[in-house]
Amino acid sequence: MCEMAKEAFASRNYRLAVEIYERCMKQQPPSFEIFFGYGDSLARCGRLREALDVYAQCFAIIAVPPERLRHLATALLEDIGGTSLPRRRTEASFVCPYCEGTLYQPVTANCGHTYCRNCLESSKCCRACGLKFGPSGETNVLVQRLVEKWWPREAEASRARHEGDLFMREGHVGQALERYNLAVRLAPNSPLHLSNRAHALLMLSRPQASLTDADHAIRLRPDWGKGHFRRGVALAALGRHEEALFAFCTSVAIDRNPQTVRQEITRVLHRMLSSNHRRQNSPATRGPYNMVQTIARSRRNRHHLLLPLMNPIQHHRRAALNTSDCEDNSSGEEDFSQTVCRRLMPTSVPHDNARLHAILDRVYQEVEKLKRVDARPAEILLPPLSRGDPAEGDLDCILCCRLLWKPVATPCGHTYCWMCLDRCLDYSSACPLCVTSLADYLASSQKTVTDFVERALKSVASTEYAARAASHRLELVQSLGLLDSEQIAVFICTTAFPRVACPLFVYEPRYRLMVRRCFEIGVREFGIAACLNREATGTKKYAEYGTMLEIRDRVLLKDGCSILSTVGGRRFRVLSGDERDGYDTAQVEFLRDTPVQPEQLLNLLELHDKVRTKGRRWWDTVPSSQQSEIQRVFGSMPDIEEDWSRLPDGPSWTWWILAILPLGPQLQVGILGTTSLEKRLRAIEKTLDHMEQRQLTVAPAPSEDTTTSASICSDDRTIVGNPVPVIQRS
């Protein structure tokens, strides 16, 4: 029966455990094992008061090791900590999310939240967002400058506090106290410094002074859990257990940090229950000797008592050990569960338990009150109100000389606008300011806006920041020529054809910028035109006719380059060109085939079918290895659209075949610019005839890997001079 109860308890079916234990107690004389099991089950059911009563009875009879109270402590902590208090909003202030104080040696983590260096190094994931920390970087120089400029005294105090913490860690409590004293002097209204000093004072066995600091900290911030925790520890050291329990519970209710408080609370509960029992008994009846008497008496008088399983003397000795302060008595429980068995009456509640109940009640009342308090960080740092001095120039990006927009911090601690840094990384993977390599940073693509700086911008320059956002958007639109429906950005590379795939490898900085802009604004389209005569004239010149490309997919490579899957769209003619941040833009007119006149339709149909057949025939002569290579890039030959004669670019298959036929770049451009379907068909036919005469096929495609277009271009086996562009490089 008892085993069943244990099983139920182990499988967390606490209600069932309670029931079974209750039945157990009716059927057989209860042992301590049953009794504690019952108490634990009650506690885990949330019936804390009853549990407390049960434990109190045990305490009245035998010394109990504190460890035995772990379920009670857990239940209490869960009950209190589980209440839905609002999460602390460190973002309301400019503090470290970990220590909640003024940032000292601020380091921005990969999630964009900024911590004191010490604080960052002592945690694994972000308190503000939960993201796992990467390797920590260098001090964020901008954040440090702002903190020191805006809150000089607090910054100095924070430095003293962190230095004190280091001393504490090394065990130099005296020196730590000095630093904390300085911190308190510099920033007397920060509960953090007081709390840390309270800790040091306690270590120096000055609990009363410790309590004074803790109380002061609580007065400054009643809703700060740590302060209550410090108060609890000091009170416990002073032997004021009930108040200590109260303080610990308050701390848990606020911070929901049951792990750190569990041990303290177990100890305090233990002392309380022990002293509760002591109060019940006269001093003469206390102690191990009394325990022997009790047991002996019980044995004599109550016939249904179970006999202790071990020899009485041995037991007495252990009991004696247990009665002394048994915080570190780990063997206690083992003895306990198998040894002393006594009759215990669950109904006989000692009167003094009313006191324990009252404490519990008070704790719950306080927690209820705390629910209504808006939790705030320990230190409240507000940016300067005066707009004149604070950020003049400080919040400008060194690269664009404008107010930072989406500020990001590099691992080396330098802040730039997101887009400015992106552009720099297009050209070089070094930090513009300190030339540290950012290759790993670029590869990890972990750029996040620095929360601190963004909030600084929003609070001291809110209007300007909003305006900056608007102007950024406008620039983006302008830079892609989206204000004017016939203005486009041009990727100068090759001739692409309508509805034919055109894979691109984008590595030139200017095109990386252009493509990034397309993605940022959500316009997946840009123009492409062939580069002509560059070598001949020494100047860059691009074809008069080009095609719009629609981005279907992008693979971002670690070095910031990308591979684009695109497909051709409308054709255009360039009217005039301009330049934007290194890439070309153009004023264009879009082209469409001249409509087929009804009287021409029959002839055209005939021509179309003839050329298509020829095309098919030629395709079948292409070696299968080349066929599959071509199909991999351009797909199979498109089917004939039903309404092909009315399409603005005619039937797709003509473009597909033009893309794979070995035509020279000039010829490709010329055909692209033709608005007569008939002329285009004839050009195809002529090429096919020409090839048939000379029994030519397309150039072999020797590449194993799509990105080696350069090798294809220089391939000698190319027959007409123009290779199959498997993938174009920017």
Partner 1 sequence: MTALPRRIIKETQRLMQEPVPGISAVPDDTNARYFHVIVTGPEDSPFEGGLFKLELFLPEDYPMSAPKVRFITKIYHPNIDRLGRICLDILKDKWSPALQIRTVLLSIQALLSAPNPDDPLANDVAELWKVNESEAIRNAKEWTRRFAMDN
Residue ranges that bind partner 1, judged by CB under 8 A? 398-402, 420, 423-424, 426-428, 430, 432-433, 435, 478, 509-510, 578-582
Find the helix or strand (DSSP H, E) in which 659 lies.
helix 652-660
* Shortest CB 659 distance to partner 1, Å: 32
Residue 642's φ and ψ, nearest 5 degrees, are: -65, -40
Give the residue carrying structure tokens 């300067």. 384
Pairing of strands 728-729, 504-506: parallel
* Shortest CB 437 distance to partner 1, Å: 13
Could you give the CA distance from residue 86 to residue 60 in angstroms, rounded to a whole number? Answer: 40
* Shortest CB 401 distance to partner 1, Å: 4
Of residues 405 and 655, the one with the C-beta less far from partner 1: 405
Q: How far is CA 477 from the centre of its chain?
A: 30
Could you give the CA distance from residue 550 to residue 530 in angstroms, rounded to a whole number? Answer: 17
DSSP letter for each residue of 192-253: HHHHHHHHHHHHTT-HHHHHHHHHHHHHH-TT-HHHHHHHHHHHHHTT-HHHHHHHHHHHHH
Of residues 9 and 583, the one with the C-beta less far from partner 1: 583
* Shortest CB 576 distance to partner 1, Å: 12
Of residues 240 and 423, the one with the C-beta less far from partner 1: 423
Task: Show the 3-state SS of 442-507.
Answer: HHHCCCCECHHHHHHHHHHCHHHHHHHHHHHHHHHHHHCCCCCCCEEEEEEECCCCECCECCEEEC
**Closest Cα to residue 137, out of 560, 456, 447?**
447
Say which residues have a Cβ less than 8 Å from residue 204's Cβ, sequence separation at least 6: 173, 174, 177
Of residues 81 and 407, the one with the C-beta less far from partner 1: 407
Of residues 103 and 490, the one with the C-beta less far from partner 1: 490
Query: For residue 294, how many C-alpha atoms fall within 13 Å in the half-sphere facing its CB?
Result: 20
Could you give the CA distance from residue 587 to residue 578 in angstroms, rounded to a whole number? Answer: 8
* Shortest CB 509 distance to partner 1, Å: 7
Of residues 356 and 425, the one with the C-beta less far from partner 1: 425
* Shortest CB 434 distance to partner 1, Å: 9
Tell me which DSSP letter residue 396 carries: B
CB of 525 closer than 8 Å to CB of 551:
yes
**Closest Cα to residue 591, out of 503, 533, 673?**
673
* Shortest CB 667 distance to partner 1, Å: 32
* Shortest CB 414 distance to partner 1, Å: 9
Q: How far is CA 431 from the centre of its chain?
A: 24
Of residues 417 and 712, the one with the C-beta less far from partner 1: 417
Cross-strand bridge partners of residue 588: 574
* Shortest CB 574 distance to partner 1, Å: 18
* Shortest CB 526 distance to partner 1, Å: 17
Give the residue carrying structure tokens 């390797």. 135
How many C-beta atoms surround the C-beta of residue 693 within 10 A? 8
* Shortest CB 400 distance to partner 1, Å: 5
Residue 188: both structure tokens together = 């007397």
* Shortest CB 424 distance to partner 1, Å: 5
Of residues 66 and 432, the one with the C-beta less far from partner 1: 432
Percent helix, strand and coil across the chain, each to the nearest 5: 55, 10, 35
Largest pairwise CA distance in the chain: 126
Of residues 382 and 474, the one with the C-beta less far from partner 1: 474
* Shortest CB 580 distance to partner 1, Å: 6
Could you give the CA distance from residue 658 to residue 638 in angstroms, rounded to a whole number? Answer: 12
CA–CA distances in Å: residue 131 to residues 111, 125, 134, 318, 503 = 6, 5, 9, 49, 36
* Shortest CB 430 distance to partner 1, Å: 7
Of residues 83 and 429, the one with the C-beta less far from partner 1: 429
* Shortest CB 436 distance to partner 1, Å: 11
Of residues 428 and 613, the one with the C-beta less far from partner 1: 428
Of residues 133 and 427, the one with the C-beta less far from partner 1: 427
**Would you state the torsion angle of the CA atoms of residues 301, 306, 310, 316, taken in this order, to the nearest 10 degrees?**
-40
SS3 34: helix
CB of 606 closer than 8 Å to CB of 579:
no
Of residues 512 and 614, the one with the C-beta less far from partner 1: 512
* Burial class of residue 643 (count of CB atoms within 10 Å of its CB; 0-12, 13-18, 19+): exposed
Of residues 431 and 699, the one with the C-beta less far from partner 1: 431
Of residues 74 and 478, the one with the C-beta less far from partner 1: 478
